[in-house]
Structure 1
């Protein structure tokens, strides 16, 4: 009997040790499952795969290889997104050795996306904008939709200009369309003004009136026009005291925002009423991007405003990055524009959000890019 009890005690002892061992193994297994770095990496990879990261560059123009000044808008008739842009030709023969000649003689082209911005298809140039015979220059498109019509504002030069500067007098032309393809001339804006006017941005004020902010190259300042109907415009006031062009105005996070291209990044201003602007410290997107063809400064942007974010579309000159002679060799001066490979440009996209009351963005940070159907 005593031997049986000893045997039973030994058996119970062994079982107790075995149970403890099994419990420890189970605890180690659970701990490894939860905190396993490989598992965490897999989850991170899965999350990244689910994010719809845009390709870089977003778009290259097959005609001329130098798209600039993009504007992206929903086409209500085709049920797809349209990108209107100035179609330059990087291989344009220089007129009288003037470096900026390739910036002129341009048309307004269209690329469309039927898959929510993932891919873009070149479609050709818009129709109906010619106001006189010949090969003339159309640039700096601004397009909005209001009350059943698309409104397009273009900078216009007669002919193919051969210049080293953008200082020649230009005209702002207004067109309307129902489908973004066929445009009807409406009128000239500020026709008696012989200044060089470009980079128009049209936006609606809280009181329902419209403003057009543009850069007056002659006076080197931003100017603002006002309108009740998008057709008749009158000078209202100067814009924020900030040099250079491509203003964009949009609403996000309870504020109106204005971004301005400084050629080193975008200056940012904030307002509650579109009249009194406060400048944000620093520049937006002034960092060097590691994305393909995105290492140089971003230029002349257009925005798509969604509910809680804004996508900014801009162009870059990929070869004009630190370390390349075209960017650093001061002996080239304005001749930098005369070298075809340095004229090449592409369209990129980046996300803008509001962080601690100010605009925030990072061209190197992956983000979810999706242009929803708007109807």
Structure 2
């Protein structure tokens, strides 16, 4: 933006009629009138009314967001929201850092990105999240300034630009129009139609219950579909045409992948509709050339009669790996390997605590496994796909602030697109006001999307940040 202004000024200088000089004088007079108006309204209402000395306290009277990187002789990095009162510089504990990664590094260029999007304020430092602040009463207009003290800095490529709004996904991302119970998403690119397809469990959230233990509403479920050209705007695509001859009345948690020019689906099958959770369940493999017509494959033998929630990846050295939930082993996440997607050998137990809905993916030079621990999402990672470490805590554990996103995130899908990745998850509507008078509404679910971030081998997600979605078709389909 600054470069564009300089370019325009250059064009004015080429005029021979003195127009540029006249315009410069008019600009000077206009700016003087603005300053005079500011002074008449009060000395501290806008920042240009007087010069600042550079002393830190001289900025207290501003209403502004302030980021100080490497302050206090490069020992602290902080984000503050100034409130315009002398001596009052509020500082939240989460916005006060002293770790080396947050401070200045000598003799190297660094990239700083500040974003104010409504009341959501973020700071990125060399592409990694530094701070995030949700402001209930945000500052929506004003000036931008750079302040240095006892520093030797060079600044280049400075730019102020409006944020795109056409790539921001709505909250919710999608709701099933039939039963309002979309859950367990799996997303794939349809190369023929050049659009994205999301398969999901179509829970019957609107089915009346006989009592609180009646779970028929999560049985008798079809696999729903939604389609999108851009990953931002989704439309209902009906239910998937999955043959009943090799499946059953209840279908859960599809995983759809493309290997060797063919689409593959692994889906959990429950042979009937039940009032409780005690029925057997197994995983079936199907294939398709167009994502519309599916051919029965084999039922997977994984050594137990209650296995659910498949996630399949291709291994870099050849062959494939299945991640699944073994309910007979305390709902542990386990793996199985196959050379041909038909014959499977059960291998490792990865979790010691109960969970479900694993999603495995490769991103940022390592393998990741995100699963639903029922108190947020558990994150595991591995550099070789064999030795896994567990990240402390859980992501999406705290409820979001936006309507329809006010409960923990559950059973995710992850879409890796270029250098970026997005997590799609479902949320029960138990945190909505309607549930206070209609408790059954808490069974209803919505799908949400948020961008994943990685820093030093740690995965994070800010569900309250606007999700700027930019899905790139897979290589070979662009």
What TM-score range do you get, normalising by the shorter chain? 0.7 to 0.9
Q: 2:335 touches 2:346 (CA, 8 Å); kept in 1? A: yes
Q: Could you say which residue in structure 1 is the equivalent of 2:315?
A: 205
- Give the 5 Å matches for 1:220-231: 220=330, 221-231=332-342
Q: Could you say which residue in structure 1 is the equivalent of 2:286?
A: 175
2:161 paired with 1:161: no
Deviation at 1:367, TM superposition (A): 3.5
Aligned-partner SS, 2:322 = strand
- Give the 5 Å matches for 1:276-287: 276-287=387-398
The TM-score with structure 2 as length reference comes to 0.64
Aligned equivalents of 2:211, 2:432: Cα separation in 1: 28
Return the match for 1:345 from 445, 448, 468.
Answer: 445
Q: Deviations over 1:306-351 (max 9, x none)?
A: 121211111101224699669xxxxxxxxxxx95311110110011
Deviation at 1:97, TM superposition (A): 6.7
Q: 1:169 touches 1:194 (CA, 8 Å); kept in 2? A: no
2:240 paired with 1:140: no
Aligned-partner SS, 2:258 = strand
Q: Could you say which residue in structure 1 is the equivalent of 2:382?
A: 271
Q: Could you say which residue in structure 2 is the equivalent of 1:11?
A: none
Q: What 5-or-longer segments of structure 1 have no aligned partner? A: 1-21, 327-337
Q: Could you say which residue in structure 1 is the equivalent of 2:237?
A: 123
Aligned equivalents of 1:372, 1:269: Cα separation in 2: 26
Aligned equivalents of 1:366, 1:290: Cα separation in 2: 12
Q: Could you say which residue in structure 1 is the equivalent of 2:464?
A: 364
CA 1:137–1:123 in structure 2 vs 1: closer, same or farther (change >3 Å)? Answer: same
Aligned equivalents of 2:212, 2:435: Cα separation in 1: 23
Deviation at 1:302, TM superposition (A): 0.8
Aligned-partner SS, 1:218 = helix
Q: Could you say which residue in structure 1 is the equivalent of 2:214?
A: 99
CA 1:206–1:349 in structure 2 vs 1: closer, same or farther (change >3 Å)? Answer: same
Q: What 5-or-longer segments of structure 2 have no aligned partner? A: 1-24, 36-46, 49-63, 65-140, 145-158
Deviation at 1:365, TM superposition (A): 1.8
Aligned equivalents of 2:328, 2:354: Cα separation in 1: 12
Q: 2:417 touches 2:473 (CA, 8 Å); kept in 1? A: no
How many residues align? The count is 334
Deviation at 1:73, TM superposition (A): 0.7
Deviation at 1:368, TM superposition (A): 1.6
Aligned equivalents of 1:131, 1:93: Cα separation in 2: 29
Deviation at 1:26, TM superposition (A): 8.0
Q: Deviations over 1:168-201 (max 9, x none)?
A: 211110000011111000110017x443111111
Deviation at 1:93, TM superposition (A): 3.8
Deviation at 1:288, TM superposition (A): 2.3
Return the match for 1:288 from 374, 399, 403.
Answer: 399
Aligned-partner SS, 2:245 = coil
- Give the 5 Å matches for 1:1-375: 38=141, 40=143, 47-50=162-165, 52-94=167-209, 98-114=213-229, 116-131=230-245, 136-163=249-276, 165=277, 167-190=278-301, 193-220=303-330, 221-320=332-431, 340-374=440-474, 375=477
Q: 1:205 touches 1:273 (CA, 8 Å); kept in 2? A: no
Q: 1:95 touches 1:101 (CA, 8 Å); kept in 2? A: no
Q: 1:210 touches 1:227 (CA, 8 Å); kept in 2? A: yes
Deviation at 1:299, TM superposition (A): 0.7
Deviation at 1:132, TM superposition (A): 6.0
Q: 1:149 touches 1:177 (CA, 8 Å); kept in 2? A: yes
Q: Could you say which residue in structure 2 is the equivalent of 1:18?
A: none
Q: Deviations over 1:222-243 (max 9, x none)?
A: 2211101111111112123342
Q: Deviations over 1:139-195 (max 9, x none)?
A: 1101100101011011111121221x3x4211110000011111000110017x443
Deviation at 1:291, TM superposition (A): 1.9
Q: Could you say which residue in structure 1 is the equivalent of 2:130?
A: none
CA 1:94–1:194 in structure 2 vs 1: closer, same or farther (change >3 Å)? Answer: farther
Q: 1:240 touches 1:277 (CA, 8 Å); kept in 2? A: no
Aligned equivalents of 2:335, 2:210: Cα separation in 1: 34
Q: Once superposed, what is the RMSD of the aligned Cα atoms?
A: 3.1
CA 1:52–1:40 in structure 2 vs 1: closer, same or farther (change >3 Å)? Answer: farther
Deviation at 1:205, TM superposition (A): 2.2
